[in-house]
Chains A and B, each alone.
Chain A
């Protein structure tokens, strides 16, 4: 086990180094920050001076080494756009994204599991067929189009829910939360539903497939043969048996949800990390882009490694075959 642990950790570190290299490539080759930072009236000389001050004139390897060294210490420099520390910028917006992803994950489990169970045990009913069709529809509709539709219906026509932002937020230490105020909770509804729809269908299909598979196994047959009521068989045996993969996939999907949140955040003007990133892309605010990539990948890789390790701990057979990214088929 320690050898496996070490191997996985080295693996994760290697992946993070590769990610850092990509981030650095962006840092080095994308856009010309000088054009965007300087005033309209700046002269050529001022432009050259700024280039030197930003270190854009130094050698490639030196720049990469400096970059990695700083990134490890959480120092991503300051944003070209608003001169704030990039780390602070991201830390400030992290709670918004996290709460959104958390609620979306909760929704996907709370809605996805029952639907999955239902479509598995009532395979041939009309409702199950309809739900299956709707689930394909769910993965076929682009989430931005859905978000726009929601705004049109629930914000503009019915005026039930806010069209943008987080509502009133409460500051607890460095964390800001929207859970504690009515307007904050209201503001979460539309974005979290939009974000979770894809995830709901994913969970539902996974539960359905797992359930169908489990129900064919011998121990379910034996349970039936023993005359246990259907309810007990379905929920006590079958469902419990397929919860592990569901939890795993949900865990692995959190990284993807954080990334996909950038679309939802753009549509709902949700002040999270994703919106920060999209704005950074339009402004070619390279330190923010690079830092976002590293932070999100770090969360992603950590979750994957954690899931791998837990699995290996639970089931020693899996120690040879890492699960990394198995759920990243989105």
Chain B
């Protein structure tokens, strides 16, 4: 090759690039943990990496499951699923996608050192039928395998072998994995360069198997943790798009002629949960737990002026709810989505009837960096409760400080948000949060709030393959939880994206995941 030829090629590339390359500068609220999707079971990291890696199935813009790397599937028996794989798919390095890649990926994600193991709880084994057919065996009848698979991304086996990455990175060994900094997926974009906490560049994958609906050539991803700096950057055109626009800045952003705001409600439902153990964690009532009295829980419910919370703390953007799951989640019932009215006097009467006319003190644990405007709504509710005569002792700190207390059960009331992801099914909330603790069930049952009737329904629904029957069981369980006021529902939290007018069109689904492969630019 001559030097002149190289120069000419470079010039030609530069020219064509200048002519039409469309770059989307994405300012996110934080950095993704790693380029390895199996390193950290965290929704945002997975949603970004979904641009590079893909699963066997995926969600559409309106959250229906559709084929991705698998073209079709069937259940051979109640515990064996057979997937027909898409042919002619290439990884970014040019390797072909086959059954071996699927099996190697499933083995990697379910390995005992994998932090993502819990995302595929039913997996037992997998086997290759032919190059484009795979069978997955599950532990028992399990209705939600497809939902789980949407977030199990497929790696290239040869690439993992070549780079000694067949097993997930083990933090305990202190050795960095190759996949942490390098990526090789089948997705619509490939990673061009990565500088963590500064800039990661994704470029269009010209050989993507799907017909692209986007016209983006390049994504420059920059984390900007400070909300006000992010807003400044968007207003000044330093970024084109952010998936976390602070609620308080939406009016200002919308007022700018160059910026538009996309705003809707998330799948995540927010509620308050109680310590229902035998005694309170921190209270002037020592001998018993007032929260075990349903009248007290109802009083706490009725004391919340939800409209004030919605209007002020949530800036009019949250959706008030009486249900524990969002409308888009299977298991939701409109008849259950009715709140107890705000009734301060009623709350005081209930407290008096329960034997606490002067209220009692309790610890109220919220996190400052977890839910949308959590600081704001927790403070607002704390002041509403204190007007009902209660003495909430608000503890408000970042997740890293609060999480250990919450997990240990060191609280009396906590704020809690559950999106039911990646399952997008109420079973997620039921089995992980509402279920009494046993085995893998009730991992999040921090306050001992189980109910044997609910447990029985959950266990039945977990092996029921008939969808209508399964949903009816889940609805029944949610109905009991609501009647008992096990939780006090608050709202579905708002989500807001903001973009410059250079971004023509995008799809904002209620799972709050940016899908730039469905985004076009001017």
Question: Taking beta carbons and an 8 Å cutoff, which residues of A are in contact with B?
Answer: 31-32, 35-43, 46, 49-50, 52-55, 75, 77-78, 80-85, 88-89, 92-93, 96, 151, 155-156, 159, 162-166, 176, 266-269, 271, 275-276, 279, 282-284
Does B213 make an interface contact (CB < 8 A)? Answer: no
Does B173 make an interface contact (CB < 8 A)? Answer: yes
A267 to B232, CA, bound (A): 12
Inside 8 A of A266's CB, which chain B residues have their CB? 226
5 closest A-B pairs by CB: A53-B172, A39-B41, A41-B118, A271-B198, A163-B232
Inside 8 A of B131's CB, which chain A residues have their CB? none
A41 B400 Cβ-Cβ under 8 A: no
B232 A156 Cβ-Cβ under 8 A: yes
B39 A42 Cβ-Cβ under 8 A: no
A83 to B400, CA, bound (A): 18
A164 B229 Cβ-Cβ under 8 A: yes
Interface positions of B from 31 to 55, Cβ below 8 Å from A? 31, 33-34, 36, 39-42
B233 A43 Cβ-Cβ under 8 A: no
Assuming the contacts A36-B403, A54-B171, A165-B222, asked whether A83 and B34 have C-beta atoms less than 8 A apart, the reply is: yes
A39 B119 Cβ-Cβ under 8 A: yes
B400 A156 Cβ-Cβ under 8 A: no
Nearest CB of chain A from residue B220's CB, rounded to whole Å: 11
Does B115 make an interface contact (CB < 8 A)? Answer: yes
A279 to B29, CA, bound (A): 12
Assuming the contacts A53-B171, A81-B33, asked whether A164 and B181 have C-beta atoms less than 8 A apart, the reply is: no
Interface string of B183-215 (1 = CB under 8 A from A): 000000000000111100000000000000000
Inside 8 A of A31's CB, which chain B residues have their CB? 400
22 A-B pairs (CB sep. < 8 Å): A35-B407, A38-B115, A39-B40, A39-B41, A39-B42, A40-B41, A41-B440, A42-B117, A53-B113, A82-B31, A82-B39, A83-B33, A83-B171, A88-B176, A162-B238, A163-B238, A164-B226, A268-B229, A269-B224, A269-B225, A276-B197, A279-B225
Q: Which B residue sits closest to A162, measured CB to CB?
A: B238
A166 B238 Cβ-Cβ under 8 A: no
Cross-interface CB contact of A85 among B121, B176, B236, B369, cutoff 8 Å: B176
A267 to B404, CA, bound (A): 29
A271 to B198, CA, bound (A): 6
Cross-interface CB contact of A41 among B36, B181, B238, B443, cutoff 8 Å: B443
Nearest CB of chain B from residue A254's CB, rounded to whole Å: 23
Nearest CB of chain A from residue B13's CB, rounded to whole Å: 18
Cross-interface CB contact of A82 among B180, B232, B444, cutoff 8 Å: B180
B112 A49 Cβ-Cβ under 8 A: yes
A81 to B45, CA, bound (A): 12
A40 B232 Cβ-Cβ under 8 A: no
Assuming the contacts A53-B173, A271-B197, asked whether A41 and B229 have C-beta atoms less than 8 A apart, the reply is: no
Does B175 make an interface contact (CB < 8 A)? Answer: yes
A83 to B172, CA, bound (A): 10
B224 A164 Cβ-Cβ under 8 A: yes
A32 to B195, CA, bound (A): 27
Nearest CB of chain A from residue B387's CB, rounded to whole Å: 33
B235 A156 Cβ-Cβ under 8 A: yes
Q: Which B residue sits closest to A187, measured CB to CB?
A: B238
A50 B172 Cβ-Cβ under 8 A: yes
Q: Which B residue sits closest to A284, measured CB to CB?
A: B400
Inside 8 A of A268's CB, which chain B residues have their CB? 229
Does B488 make an interface contact (CB < 8 A)? Answer: no
Inside 8 A of A85's CB, which chain B residues have their CB? 176
Cross-interface CB contact of A43 among B31, B118, B119, cutoff 8 Å: B118
B440 A39 Cβ-Cβ under 8 A: no
Q: Which A residue sits closest to B236, measured CB to CB?
A: A159
Nearest CB of chain A from residue B194's CB, rounded to whole Å: 10
Inside 8 A of B41's CB, which chain A residues have their CB? 38-41
B115 A42 Cβ-Cβ under 8 A: yes
B443 A43 Cβ-Cβ under 8 A: yes
Cross-interface CB contact of A78 among B117, B119, B171, B197, cutoff 8 Å: B171
A38 to B172, CA, bound (A): 12
B116 A84 Cβ-Cβ under 8 A: no
Inside 8 A of A284's CB, which chain B residues have their CB? 400
Inside 8 A of A163's CB, which chain B residues have their CB? 229, 232-233, 236, 238
Nearest CB of chain A from residue B71's CB, rounded to whole Å: 29
Cross-interface CB contact of B39 among A55, A77, A83, A162, cutoff 8 Å: A83
Inside 8 A of B112's CB, which chain A residues have their CB? 49
A139 to B359, CA, bound (A): 49
Nearest CB of chain A from residue B218's CB, rounded to whole Å: 14
Inside 8 A of A84's CB, which chain B residues have their CB? 34, 176, 180-181, 196
